[in-house]
Amino acid sequence: MKKSTLITLGSVAAIVPLCVLALSINENKAEQQAMNAVPKIKHMESISAEWGKHFPRQYDSYLQTKKSDQITDMLEHNPALVVMWAGYGFSKDYNAPRGHTYILEDNINTLRTGAPTDGNTGPMPTACWTCKSPDVPRLMSEKGELDFFTGKWARWGNEIVNPIGCADCHDNETMRLAITRPQLERALDAEGSLKTTDATHQDMRSLVCAQCHSEYYFKPTEWTDKNGEKKVAKVVTFPWANGFAVEDMEKYYDDINFVDWTHKISKTPMLKAQHPGYEIYKTGAHGLNDVSCADCHMPYVREGGVKYSSHNVGSPLENIANTCLNCHSEDEKTLRDTVARKLARKEEMSKAAMDVIGKAHLEAGKAWELGATEAEMKEILQDIRHAQWRWDYSIASHGSFFHAPEETLRILGSAVNKGQDARVKLRIVLARYNAAEYVAPDFSTKEKAQQVIGLPFQKLVDEKNVFLNTLRKEWIKEGTDKGLYDPKTREGIVFKTSYN
């Protein structure tokens, strides 16, 4: 063989692997570039699989949230909740959160949304869909915000068929993070410390979450439709005008005499805190240091040469290497133990508060039964209202024990105090009616507590099952006929509830 041929062969042998390497680098580059480019996606496309065609890694990781499918019955864990929420939906059914892909299932299956028989029946307003689906911003843009917020929850059962998805957080034209819920913009502007237009990219990595992980109430708002008919919308509104702190929102609600429901036993005009996750996070070490929700819950991960944000939003403790360890140098075990200790401290204080508040409701119920007057009860009910609001604000977002441990414990302390204030005053009233020795009935299990408040649990379950087998099935069929429903998001999902 000629020397030159040998050299050529040698070069080819050397070049082939180099080419393969270059090719794979190019492929990764091409994929990374495709991820950074903006494809054509329909305005308000609520089917995430359509976005997923262009961004398969984000889509696949988003589908991984299906793995977080465990139902934890919070009423079983803390039976006092049943008493605290007597007369309100949460006393029927309340589970800990699961993965984002379960958002719609859980909203539809909970006993709280009841058993409507058509689009005009059922206990809840349309507002209950607000933080569940990209079909919400789609409907708002098609119908107008006030029309969206008018009527019963069941009105949109055949329109809201996709669980939280890409269109909830991304703009279809630029792929940039986007606020798709107008209530967040209005509230930020009213609160004033961070105007929507001043939000940085890092702020947006938390604000997309704040669209849903925030405190809200349903604000009755009158409007006139195009036929001149007067209607009342129940508009999801964040009570932030005085600030984010528990006292600021308490004042906001007191000033407008807002009442979520009247307690069935104590007759207290109650507030239900929803989940002020963003607000309380802002007071903690991470919020104050500009660490965003996405930094911990959507870490960057690397697959081959491609780096992308994990859309498997869940517990950061499942991925300490890509979250905490980006910034901290302790070992995994130390970090895990630290988080566990914070949780245990919160649990201890929260249980103390629940016990005090549960008893206060029942003692107030006894006082009414014995003939106590409005004048005797007024201050007591205000104490109970504030105690329970504070307890709820501090724990309802589930992560507060870690996001803002000091603030959480401070507020729980004030909840115990307010609850005990009510009980000291109640003892005086009870003594006046010869019941100084009164002991509240046992509410140490979910069943006992539901009996104490007279909840017809089995009836609610039976009605729910009828709904799930009839109207619910029609919604899926109608959604499919309209071309809205994507069976992929429900693939592999097992029907799980606390009651069946």
Q: Does 35 bind ligand HEC (CB under 6 A)?
A: yes
The CB-of-308 to ligand HEC minimum distance in angstroms stands at 3
Q: Does 182 bind ligand HEC (CB under 6 A)?
A: no
- For residues 479 and 158, is the Cβ–Cβ distance under 8 A? yes
Binding-site size, ligand HEC (CB under 6 A): 68
Q: Does 338 bind ligand HEC (CB under 6 A)?
A: yes
- In the shown chain, the binding pattern of residues 185 to 224 toward ligand HEC, with x for contact by CB under 6 A and - for none, equals --------------------xx-xx-xxx-----------
Q: Does 289 bind ligand HEC (CB under 6 A)?
A: yes
Q: Does 281 bind ligand HEC (CB under 6 A)?
A: yes
Residue with tokens 């059962």: 157
Q: Does 350 bind ligand HEC (CB under 6 A)?
A: no
Q: What CA–CA distances, in Å, run from 299 to 55, 208, 360?
A: 17, 15, 44
Residues from 65 through 124 that contact ligand HEC (CB under 6 A)? 68, 96-100, 102-103, 106
Residue with tokens 């609001």: 389
SS3 of residue 327 by DSSP: coil
Query: How buried is 233 (Cβ within 10 angstroms: 0-12 exposed, 13-18 middle, 19+ buried)?
Result: buried
For 165-180, b where at least 16 C-beta lie within 10 A, e where not — what string? bbbbbbebeebebbbb
Which range binds ligand HEC by CB under 6 A, 3-11, 314-322, 377-385, 413-421? 314-322
What amino acid occupies position 471? Answer: L
Q: Does 346 bind ligand HEC (CB under 6 A)?
A: no
Angle at 269 between CA 350 and CA 248, to 5 degrees: 65
- For residues 225 and 231, is the Cβ–Cβ distance under 8 A? yes
Q: Does 306 bind ligand HEC (CB under 6 A)?
A: no
C-beta closer to ligand HEC: residue 62 or 252: 62
Kindly tell me which residue out of 293, 362, 411, 416 binds ligand HEC, with binding defined by CB under 6 A: 293
The CB-of-273 to ligand HEC minimum distance in angstroms stands at 14
SS3 of residue 422 by DSSP: helix
Q: Which residue is nearest to ligand HEC (CB)?
A: 399
- The neighbour count for residue 368, using CB atoms within 10 Å, is 16
In this structure, the chain runs to a length of 500
CA–CA gap between residue 293 and residue 299 (Å, rounded): 10
Strand ranges inside 226-305, DSSP E: 230-237, 261-262, 269-270, 300-303
- In the shown chain, the binding pattern of residues 133 to 172 toward ligand HEC, with x for contact by CB under 6 A and - for none, equals -------------------------------xxx-xxx--
Q: Does 308 bind ligand HEC (CB under 6 A)?
A: yes
Residues from 431 through 490 that contact ligand HEC (CB under 6 A)? none
- For residues 182 and 246, is the Cβ–Cβ distance under 8 A? no
C-beta closer to ligand HEC: residue 268 or 283: 283
Positions touching ligand HEC (CB under 6 A) are 35, 48, 51-52, 55, 58-59, 62, 68, 96-100, 102-103, 106, 131, 164-166, 168-170, 175, 177, 205-206, 208-209, 211-213, 277-278, 281, 284-286, 289, 291, 293-298, 308-309, 311, 313-317, 323-324, 326-328, 335, 338-339, 398-399, 402-403, 405
